[in-house]
Structure 1
Amino acid sequence: MTTTRTVNRAARIVLPGVVAGVLAASALAGSPAHAADEEVPGLHLVTLTGPGTSATPPVTGAPDAQAVLLARQDAVLETIGGPATAYRWTTALNGFAVELTADQVTALESNDDVAAIEANTVRPMAGHVDLSAVRFSRSSDPRASRGAGGSGVVIGFVDSGIAPDSPLFSEVRGLGETRAGFSGTCSPGEGWPASTCNRKVVGAGWWVEGFGPDRIRSSESLSALDVVGHGTQVASVAAGNSDVSVLMNGRTMTSFSGVAPQAKVAPYKACWAAPDPADDGCSTADLVSAIDQATADGVDVLNVAVAGPTTTDTVERALLGAAEADIVVVGAAGNGRSAFAAHASPWVTTVGAARGNTLRGRVSVVGGPAFTGASRSRRQLGPVALVLGADVAADGAPTEDARRCLPGSLDARQVAGRAVACLRGGIGRVDKSEAVALADGVAMVLVNDRPGALVDDFHTVPTVQLSVADGTRLTRWMKRHDRTTVRLAGVGIEKDASEAARWSAPGDDRASLLKPDVVALGEGVLGAVPDAWALFSGTSAASARASGVAALLRAKHGHWSASVVRSVLTTTARPLAGTSTLVQGAGRVRASLPRPGLALDIAPTRYRDALEDVSWEDLNVSSIIMRGGGTTTRRVTNLGTRAEYFSVSARGFVRHRVRTTPVALRLGPGESASVRITVTGGGNPSRFDDGWIVWRGARGSHTRIPVAISR
């Protein structure tokens, strides 16, 4: 049993800047970009031995716990000359951020009170916001939130802030009262007066010392105000108000609602825009500060849409403190198959990305071939003449600009009343359809210029997007015929066979925990951005959906612990056929509230015990990973209000025999029982195998945990 870079409480180590997974998936290219953490010289994160105050509830008459921790920190700082700190942390963990010389680092390595020292690094956000993909005017604020779910629950977002003027974050009727125990405040800043908060946005904070206020973009605001768009989209998907109309050219295209529309939001801004967008990101010192404050404020769910290494670093230790405070912690797995899923600890629900359904459309050439692609338009159009953009260039416009339908490149006299075939690239996809509309065109056929995803965008005119191969065939037909007439029509929905996004970070079969825990929709997700709407992709979009479902569960089952909520998210997920558990975990998070069956609960104190023992082996996690075979135990608890019989079976295994003892249970409400799972056989030990242990309740519930049998 091994745990990657698990740090013993008494250990004295230095953690260098580590490679975080990767940057987010590009919705334009359909594939992820990659980058490593950038180490910021000088600033270090120092964690002292022992937990923060979140792990030790206050005792009447006991000394002030925070004061005791601060005194310990002062004593450690005095041993290296008492340098001024950038941050102090006392809730989620006991530590501080401080500029250190090499000699000071060496001195702290030998200090028995120091558990870990880590260089400050900057990590990318785990999503790509395609600001050019959708440009809608917004509706007026809704008068009431007719959608239900999440009432009173507070979701904290460690991200790039939010745009509070979006109607998705307006104070509307039906939001309910904030749950007792939340003590967050509205920290003011540039463009964010203290009066910004309301009954929907119930708290806000921002931290920039780790990233560096001298390194941010000139358009940034030293406040919780979002200028990147990432944090706004994540928060809107998880908890945006319901029934907000999405308008384009004065026409309602759809109605938007977050997963938990009655939940409250609290942005903790730790991610910043740099002059070069490639340098946007979140420093680990700022991330830990935001997590520490969110834990102190008492959020119910904490969403961290930032990936990172698979080690138990300072950020992960801070998230442990949040879990010890009974907060449901949800983290993005990261984007890119070249790195393993982030947040490889048992106290975080790590979320990978699944593909969504793509709306399909067909371009039918009258008297010729038909081609199927992506199209959000459902209305039939035609017959209508189709022209190549390169053949209808405006006077003085370069042919290449017209080929790609850049604004102003098309001749309205030749385009009016016609459909235009446009090559992808150069500008945003929806900008091309807008250019066609401005030239009085009535439809567009968008042709990929390289292999990549087909996206059912919201376009200004009816549009079908075609692959490179189909676009080439269509173009050849048009060049061989004097006139091409087409019909456009919607033809249903395409469902990907595996549904797992190709770029979602997978788990490591050599690890001691199965990650990611679950997957959720993470490709082409619509959400709010400052002053508009846009699509975004990445495991950040997936984590947002999972956080919304967690809020629904916390609102409906207020007595459930964070551990139980995390277990239910996992055990009720829907497996994706033909997909490895190393990619999907337990499967796709259900969008609606599942029927509660059994839960695998973990006492918060057990996480730290396991961390100190450098072993997750005895933790009652809702998944299993084994090397070759053996026996392990899980303890299940009846979440129902009545006594119930549960039968258990093993499914899906191809190369191993998996047995459970006992094969049936009768449990009263709240009653628990242990089940032994034994794996034998396998023949070739180099072959990977996986499947499921499923408990089926007499009242219709299904509790499912994934099992991976590694080499």
Structure 2
Amino acid sequence: MPLHRRHPARRAGLRRATVLAVLATVAAGLGPAALDAPARADDTGVPALQLVTLTGPGTSAGGRGPADLLARQDAVLAQVGSPMTTYRWTTALNGFAAELTPEQVAAVQADPEVASVEANTVRALTGRRGTALASGQVGQPRSRGGAGAVIGVIDSGLAPESPLFAALPGLGRAPEDFDGTCEVGEEWSSGTCSRKVVASGWWVAGFGQDRIRASEHLSPRDAIGHGTQVASVAAGNAGVSVRMQGRTVGQYGGIAPQARIAAYKACWGAPDPGDDGCATADLVSAIDRATADGVDVLNLSVAGPPGTDTVERALLGAAEADVVVVAAAGNDGRRQYAAHDSPWVTTVGASLGSVWQGRVSVAGGPTLTGASRSRRTSGPTRLVLGADVAAPGVRRRDAAQCRPGTLDAARTAGRAVFCERGGIGRIDKSDAVARADGVAMVLGNVRPGPVVDDFHAVPTVQLAAPDAARLLRWIRTHDRTTVRMSGVAPSPAAGRTAAWSPSGDPRASAVKPDVVAVGDGVLGAVPGDRGWALFSGTSAATARVSGAAALLRSRHDWPAPVVRSVLATTAAPLGSDPVLRQGAGRAGADVTGARLALPVATSGYREALDTGSWADLNLSSVLVRGNGTVTRRVTNLGTRAEYFSAQALGFARHRVRVTPLAVRLGPGETATFRIAVTGPAAPGRVDDGWIRWRGARGSVTRIPVAITR
């Protein structure tokens, strides 16, 4: 395939397709952000909202125009009495959402024009939020990158008042061939969009207006904070001061700080936060709109089941429009395989990052190391147990956990407090110490578990359970304990995938996740007075990879499949983690040394979907069932001819041979190579390793290989 992006000459056509679909929906009585609640599915014949996809692609893949697609939809609807539609889609796919009875569903499924019928469901976001308070430092953010690229963030909306989303000077060149508009609503006027936030939209009919919390906004405005955090990590402005409790603790910038943001709100907060989520009908509508608008990168930090459902089909349409689709693998790694297992999606898992450390030095006693964001040295300071400074009338157990209002300020003032983990949030404990005039906190785990370098209200060191127990014994056997607390250099990157980040299915046809990125304790902007918070999950990791994709789209005229390939083949392997846990490894923002790519033809994904086989796709990873031979093609991205040599590494139980072992490629030239796998015939564990191509000019291209049974 060509190494330059297809100029999106049909952007105007895609936009017209969406306009026609919207007009058709309005004619049916519902707008593009329809406010009617979906009917609930049951077995009594009551209509329920269904997502119906017709055969063939939407306009993003060429072929029929929007008028023809709408006519096909009308014909299907006419067979079941022409019910009103909630949404119409003609760009990323050809389909609609409508409330159908079980009898109508059966009739539609029998229509040869229909590819799938699927009930509307609600999916979870893949970020977990903690509150960031004062202390610590932020690091050295990137100052430039991403100019001219647009990241479409399909999420819970945006808090546009953050300085991270201001239309500052220095954003660089404006996006080309982007045709998004600013959809308005509550507390979001047409003037809210800017040179930084270049488009907005919102969809609630699938989730149901009757299900959203009172603090929500019927607009692109973010109420729960998830979308704001994701957008800030991917493309927040550079050089923004992080202020917490009146102090500046560092400078912030997103991965691609000059990239523009298109905020598509398809996720909503419910009265019970456990019910927050994104309805599939709303997600597909947002994907359809983002594709028509012409975003360069599409970020979807939403979980999902395996397989090719309506959301995945819509993401295929986005990929066919030359959009780099980046989606989260999910957070339930102990029970589920990675979400978004389609080959046209860059699926992102989460790795653990560096842990900022702190030291507690006991006068005359032990020196203990734990997690701490604080870089300041405090003490010597008297250390007291929370239970020993309980306020009058407070249970010792509550004070031991440093619950709000449980500490006696008269006995806490000027002292460090030992607080037991549990009962309430970690951050809330340091806030309670600060409100009681304490000057530092030692947070002790009472059972096995990780330590976290949170931002706290006072200098804090969190100790693992063995060290916490050791310190407790010292305090209880000595009349007076004095400690000095100090920050130490961060530990090296943990070098492994987070336990909660899902692995790929060994029975699948492709390696997932494609890559991982740091997904624990990531700082981002949030709505409200505090302005900042840490969050974890594959949402945070996905935002980082979306930013990296925007950097590539800004620097190079590469089509989306080449960008996807470079993100994977330049990733750094994580120690001994299996390929099906880490994919190609940890994706980085600096891929300037990329020389080879494994591009996929634009039509290849749909052909694979139609045939049910990914075997002929030129994916940047390899999954082999037992023994066999797999063919791949590498293309020289450079401007000069170069020699490249191949080597198979890391396989423990199979023999893996690469032929040829060396190639010479001119600029844009492609070579075919084969990977032959032989090994034990008996079932066994998954074996894995890498095919590594080295260029004469120092480049390294890694292709992960998983061998399953």
TM-score normalized with structure 2 length? 0.91
Amino acid paired to 1:477: W
Matches within 5 A, 1:286-685: 286-337=282-333, 338-495=335-492, 497-531=494-528, 532-557=531-556, 559-682=557-680, 684-685=682-683
User: Which 5+ residue runs of structure 1 have no aligned equivalent?
Assistant: 1-37, 58-63, 140-144
Partner deviation per Cα, 1:447-490 (whole Å, 9 max, x = no partner): 12333221111122211001222222211221111111112122
| Residue of structure 1 in register with 2:53 after alignment | 47
C-alpha separation between the residues in 2 aligned to 1:288 and 1:129?
Answer: 25
SS at match of 2:191: helix
Amino acid paired to 1:256: Y
C-alpha separation between the residues in 2 aligned to 1:189 and 1:92?
Answer: 25
- Alignment of 1:243 onto 2:249: no
SS at match of 2:524: strand
| Residue of structure 2 in register with 1:5 after alignment | none
Q: Which of 189, 196, 217 matches 2:192? A: 196
SS at match of 2:283: helix
Q: Which of 687, 698, 709 matches 1:689? A: 687
C-alpha separation between the residues in 2 aligned to 1:505 and 1:134?
Answer: 30
Contact 1:515 1:585 in 2 (8 A): yes
Amino acid paired to 1:395: P
Amino acid paired to 2:502: A
Instruction: Say how many residue pairs are matched.
Output: 661
C-alpha separation between the residues in 2 aligned to 1:382 and 1:94?
Answer: 66
Matches within 5 A, 1:122-133: 122-130=122-130, 132-133=131-132
- Alignment of 1:103 onto 2:103: yes
Amino acid paired to 2:449: G
Query: CA offset at residue 136 of structure 1?
Result: 9.3
| Residue of structure 1 in register with 2:17 after alignment | none
Contact 1:134 1:535 in 2 (8 A): no
C-alpha separation between the residues in 2 aligned to 1:178 and 1:45?
Answer: 36
C-alpha separation between the residues in 1 aligned to 2:625 and 2:162?
Answer: 50
Amino acid paired to 1:109: Q
SS at match of 2:608: helix
C-alpha separation between the residues in 1 aligned to 2:158 and 2:450?
Answer: 29
Query: CA offset at residue 631 of structure 1?
Result: 0.4
Amino acid paired to 2:467: D
Q: Which of 159, 163, 188 matches 1:167? A: 163
Contact 2:135 2:459 in 1 (8 A): no
User: Which 5+ residue runs of structure 2 have no aligned equivalent?
Assistant: 1-38, 43-47
Query: CA offset at residue 106 of structure 1?
Result: 1.1
Contact 2:126 2:539 in 1 (8 A): yes
SS at match of 1:202: strand
Contact 1:133 1:429 in 2 (8 A): no
Partner deviation per Cα, 1:371-396 (whole Å, 9 max, x = no partner): 21101112222221100011112233
Query: CA offset at residue 496 of structure 1?
Result: 5.5
C-alpha separation between the residues in 2 aligned to 1:611 and 1:566?
Answer: 19
Contact 1:39 1:121 in 2 (8 A): no
C-alpha separation between the residues in 2 aligned to 1:466 and 1:593?
Answer: 37
Amino acid paired to 2:645: S
Partner deviation per Cα, 1:111-169 (whole Å, 9 max, x = no partner): 11111100111000011122x34379999xxxxx9810000100001110110001110
Query: CA offset at residue 417 of structure 1?
Result: 1.8
Amino acid paired to 1:75: A
C-alpha separation between the residues in 1 aligned to 2:226 and 2:282?
Answer: 17
C-alpha separation between the residues in 2 aligned to 1:687 and 1:396?
Answer: 59
Contact 1:136 1:533 in 2 (8 A): no
Contact 1:137 1:247 in 2 (8 A): no
| Residue of structure 1 in register with 2:4 after alignment | none
C-alpha separation between the residues in 1 aligned to 2:310 and 2:436?
Answer: 55
Amino acid paired to 2:50: H
C-alpha separation between the residues in 1 aligned to 2:173 and 2:88?
Answer: 32
Contact 2:135 2:374 in 1 (8 A): no
Matches within 5 A, 1:137-286: 147-286=143-282
Contact 1:354 1:499 in 2 (8 A): yes
Query: CA offset at residue 627 of structure 1?
Result: 1.1
Q: Please tell me the root mean square deviation across aligned C-alpha atoms, in Å.
A: 1.8
Amino acid paired to 2:388: D
Amino acid paired to 1:586: A
